[in-house]
Amino acid sequence: MSPDVAIIGGGIIGLTSAYLLAKEGASVAVYDRGDLGREASWAGAGILPPGNPDRAATPADKLRGIGSQRFPDFSAELRDLTGVDNGYRRCGGIEFLTAEDADVPDVWAAEGIAFTRVPLAYAQRLEPLGIVEGEPYLLPGFAQVRNPWHLRALVAACGRVGAALLPHTGVEGWEFDRNDISAARLANGDRVVAGQFLLAAGAWSEKLLHALGHRPHVHPVRGQIALLRGESCSRVLMFGKRYLVPRGDGLTLVGSTEEPEAGFEKRTTSEGIGDLVAFARRVVPVLSAAALETSWAGLRPGSPDGLPFLGRVPGWRNAFVAAGHFRAGVQLSIGTAQALSELLTDRPTCVPLEAFALDREPSATRSAFRS
Ligand SMILES: Cc1cc2nc3c(=O)[nH]c(=O)nc-3n(C[C@H](O)[C@H](O)[C@H](O)COP(=O)(O)OP(=O)(O)OC[C@H]3O[C@@H](n4cnc5c(N)ncnc54)[C@H](O)[C@@H]3O)c2cc1C
């Protein structure tokens, strides 16, 4: 097999890119060293903040806006094609902002995102809140998706549009011909020859980028999640880096820790999960009666400024990267895949990719949402 595009990494970024490229008529093969879609993309909470691509202030905001705008139709498209419902729903959210978030409502307003600042007593009538910090802001545009369901839909959709999927087929390195990658070397010693190579290996991308002469510092940032069996709120509740996501079927997801020091050690800790459960019970006291159903950990692909690296790998004609989406890979997945599929097929991209270049200076701009 010698596809037009070989994609290394079958998480949400690699699979969404594969789907769009195959729909465009490219022959695509996705290589993953493990099962498809079982790493960060499976572990995430699936929060999709609102956004508006037409009024976004930064390229990253625009990618989020594309996700917010297109997720409903994209979900319906995947369901029609595969019969798999990804659980997308616009459940609304409440953000609790503190003094350090003073500029955030202005960013939302400039982007045209609907929000209302409400008194705490009003928020307490909407949701069974206990002890909370911060000022509540209602955002009806918050949505969510069930990550494992979405990944299942993506895998099936890729198959339907003819993408070749190769789980348990890890890429170990590259072979070169001047400034071309002539082949990717597989763990079993085989070679993959392709027209273009798209590296989307999440937190594991750094080694393969280093072999291309770049050290952007894509690194793992562990996040733990607790799933409680119990009714709670009806909207996503956001408290800085911690949040509650009601699943609507008697389950409430509580996230998340942020632990770069854990490296590639993907496991939960009793302290991490204990803190999350205590936090959930404090902010929504009816959860005191809820049992811990299960818990898990995932490795976010971190980058120095929290923005992904997207685009051509400098110095190489046919190497491309889409990695480092940190806390936002689900919400940025459709915009990322659209931009990469446009770049790889020589079309103008939906966002300027300079802001995501591998050799950029880290950005100091803060995102309007933290998950
Ligand atoms: C706890 C937690 C909560 C989160 N919540 C949210 C949220 O609410 N909203 C949001 O938008 N984002 C969220 N995120 C972030 C989001 O999940 C990630 O940014 C996103 O999943 C990254 O996708 P990816 O495809 O780049 O990486 P991954 O899903 O990690 O996929 C990378 C793939 O590459 C494969 N791979 C690695 N090395 C190789 C190799 N050498 N050869 C072949 N394959 C390889 C891996 O096996 C893996 O399947 C969360 C993440 C975590 C951990």
Question: From the CB of 47, is ligand 1 less than 6 Å away?
Answer: yes
| Distance separating alpha carbons of residues 146 and 371, to the nearest angstrom | 15
Q: Which is nearest to 288 in space by CA: 118, 145, 131?
A: 131
| Distance separating alpha carbons of residues 243 and 253, to the nearest angstrom | 8
Which residue owns the Cα nearest ligand 1 atom 4?
44
Residue-level pLDDT, tens digit, the chain, 371 residues:
799 999 999 999 999 999 999 999 999 999 999 999 999 999 999 999 999 999 999 999 999 999 999 999 999 999 999 999 999 999 999 999 999 898 999 999 999 999 999 999 999 999 999 989 999 999 999 999 999 999 999 999 999 999 999 999 999 999 999 999 999 999 889 999 999 999 999 999 999 999 999 999 999 999 999 999 987 899 999 999 999 999 999 999 999 999 999 999 999 999 999 999 999 999 999 999 999 999 999 999 999 999 999 999 999 999 999 999 999 999 999 999 999 999 999 999 999 999 999 999 887 777 778 66
φ/ψ (deg, to 5) at 252: -130, 125
CATH topology of domain 5-85+147-217+304-356: FAD/NAD(P)-binding domain (3.50.50)
Question: Which of 236, 330, 333 should be mutated for ligand 1, with most atoms under 8 A from CB?
Answer: 330
Atom of ligand 1 nearest to the CA of 330: 11
Residue spans of alpha helices (H) in the chain: 12-23, 40-43, 59-82, 104-111, 120-126, 147-160, 205-210, 270-283, 333-344
Domain ranges of the chain: 5-85+147-217+304-356, 93-140+219-302
Q: Which is nearest to 337 in space by CA: 200, 218, 202?
A: 200
| Distance separating alpha carbons of residues 196 and 208, to the nearest angstrom | 15
Atom of ligand 1 nearest to the CA of 256: 1
Query: Residue 326 has what pLDDT?
Result: 97
| Distance separating alpha carbons of residues 277 and 284, to the nearest angstrom | 10
Question: Which of 7, 12, 165, 218 should be mutated for ligand 1, with most atoms under 8 A from CB?
Answer: 12
Tens of pLDDT along 160-179? Answer: 999 999 999 999 999 999 99
Centre a 10 Å sphere on the Cβ of residue 303 and count the other Cβ atoms it contains: 22
Question: From the CB of 96, is ligand 1 less than 6 Å away?
Answer: no
Q: What is the 8-class DSSP label of residue 44?
A: S
CATH of domain 93-140+219-302: 3.30.9.10
pTM for this prediction: 0.98
Q: What distances in angstroms separate CA 241 from CA 115, 128, 223, 247, one per listed residue?
A: 19, 20, 10, 19
| Distance separating alpha carbons of residues 49 and 328, to the nearest angstrom | 10
Q: How far is the CA of 43 from the centre of ligand 1 (A)?
A: 8
Q: How far is the CA of 202 from the centre of ligand 1 (A)?
A: 5
Tens of pLDDT along 299-338? Answer: 999 999 999 999 999 999 999 999 999 999 999 999 999 9
Which residue owns the Cα nearest ligand 1 atom 22?
329
